Amino acid sequence: SQQGEEDPQALSIQEGENATMNCSYKTSINNLQWYRQNSGRGLVHLILIRSNEREKHSGRLRVTLDTSKKSSSLLITASRAADTASYFCAPGHSSGGGADGLTFGKGTHLIIQP
Amino acid sequence: DSGVTQTPKHLITATGQRVTLRCSPRSGDLSVYWYQQSLDQGLQFLIHYYNGEERAKGNILERFSAQQFPDLHSELNLSSLELGDSALYFCASSPTGGRTGELFFGEGSRLTVL
């Protein structure tokens, strides 16, 4: 499969805690993206990390990438109720011509409890 | 606001009917992707158009078809509808035709087949 697989499927934490979710993929990539989806809404791009990068930050988000393990993690620090959403990773694969759309797994459903 | 517009937002119809979903990409984006999201299947890539031409097909049923017009808007036609076609249909656009770039998603069209 060319899609990323997010883990855990669901995560519930208290507001203010950090949330970590993981993504695994199977083939070589050019980059990997993370998206957020609020319930019933469109996906929103959060961050893109290139295959030659190991870590990237954007506000309260920290993404790591380990190409040797074919895995990535998304850390959300100091979580807020508004972070409640589903999070998807999307590996940008380097093979296959590139015409296919990004493929998505089933996501991690994050619930931030007040 | 992603700049991608989808209409209608909600649609309720009966089995056997045909519907057309419309997508206007972000200004200047040449690529349009269609996705279907249902509870059991997750987010499935359907089809990709680039500058009016079909570039890639994913899990699109033969009852479904799409096209991209010279003004770059796209339509997804769903015919002989079945109960299982009830889902959220997303359109996403991108300035490039490759699979590794950021996608900008619309808010989706929620189709209910009764």
Tallying the residues shown for chain A, one arrives at: 114
Residue A84 forms beta bridges with which residues? none
Do residue A96 and residue B33 have CB atoms under 8 angstroms apart?
A: no
Measure the N-to-C terminal CA separation of chain B; round to a whole number of Å. 31
Give the separation between CA A95 and CA A98, rounded to whole angstroms.
7
Q: Kindly list the residues from chain B whose CB atom is less than 8 angstroms away from the CB atom of residue A105.
A: 42
* Residue entry with tokens 């083939």: A27
Provide CB contacts within 8 A for A43, sequence distance 6+. A35, A36, A37, A88, A104, B43, B90, B92, B103, B105
The tens place of each residue's pLDDT in chain B, 114 residues long, gives 889 999 999 999 999 999 999 999 999 999 999 999 998 778 899 999 999 999 989 889 999 999 999 999 999 999 999 999 999 999 999 987 665 678 999 999 999 999
- Chain A: give the shortest CA distance to residue B83, in Å: 19
Do residue B101 and residue A94 have CB atoms under 8 angstroms apart?
A: no
DSSP string, chain B: --S-EEE-SEEEE-TT--EEEEEEPPTT--EEEEEEEETTTEEEEEEEEETTEEEEE-S--TTEEEEE-TTS-EEEEE-S--GGG-EEEEEEEESSSSSSS--EE---EEEEE-
The pLDDT of residue A104 is 87
Q: Which two tokens stand for residue A67?
A: 């190409």
Amino acid letter, B16 = G
* Residue entry with tokens 């590794």: B100
Chain B contact for A94, CB < 8 A?
A: yes
Give per-residue pLDDT as tens, A23-64.
999 988 889 999 999 998 999 999 999 999 999 999 999 999
The pLDDT of residue A1 is 42
Q: Which two tokens stand for residue B61?
A: 């049923």
B interface test, pick of A6, A27, A43 with most B CB neighbours within 10 Å: A43
Phi-psi region of B80 (alpha: psi -120 to 50; beta: other; left: phi over 0): left
Chain A, 21 to 40: residues with Cβ < 8 Å from chain B are: 29-31, 33, 35, 40
List the single residue in B with minimal CA-CA distance to A5: B42
